[in-house]
A = this chain, B = another copy of it.
Amino acid sequence: MIRKLGKNKINVSNLVRNRYQNENLEKMYGLNASQCGSNNDQFDFMFSQERPLDLIELEQLLQSVGWSRRPMRRVKKALDNSLLKVGLWQHDPKFPRLVGFARCTGDGVLHATVWDVAIHPVYQGFGLGKELMFYILRSLKRKGIERVYLFADPGVVAFYKRQGWQLEPKGSKCAFWYSS
Contact = CB atoms under 8 A, between A and B. Distances in A.
Interface of A: 70, 74-75, 77-79, 81-83, 103, 105-111, 113, 115, 137, 140-141, 144-154, 157, 160, 164-169, 171-180
Given A140-B180, A166-B177, A180-B137, A110 B171 contact: no
A82 B137 CA distance: 20
Q: Chain A contact residues: over half helix, strand or loop, or mixed?
A: mixed
A133 to B, nearest CB: 9
A177 B173 contact: yes
Contact of A178 (B70, B144, B148, B176): B148
14 contacts: A75-B110, A77-B108, A103-B107, A105-B106, A111-B115, A113-B113, A145-B180, A149-B178, A150-B175, A153-B173, A154-B172, A166-B177, A166-B178, A169-B169
Nearest to A164: B178
A70 to B, nearest CB: 7
Nearest to A166: B177
Contacts of A78: 107-111
B110 A113 contact: no
Given A81-B109, A82-B107, A111-B113, A167 B175 contact: yes
Given A78-B110, A148-B180, A150-B176, 13 more contacts: A75-B110, A79-B107, A81-B109, A147-B178, A149-B176, A150-B175, A152-B173, A152-B174, A152-B175, A153-B173, A154-B172, A168-B176, A173-B175
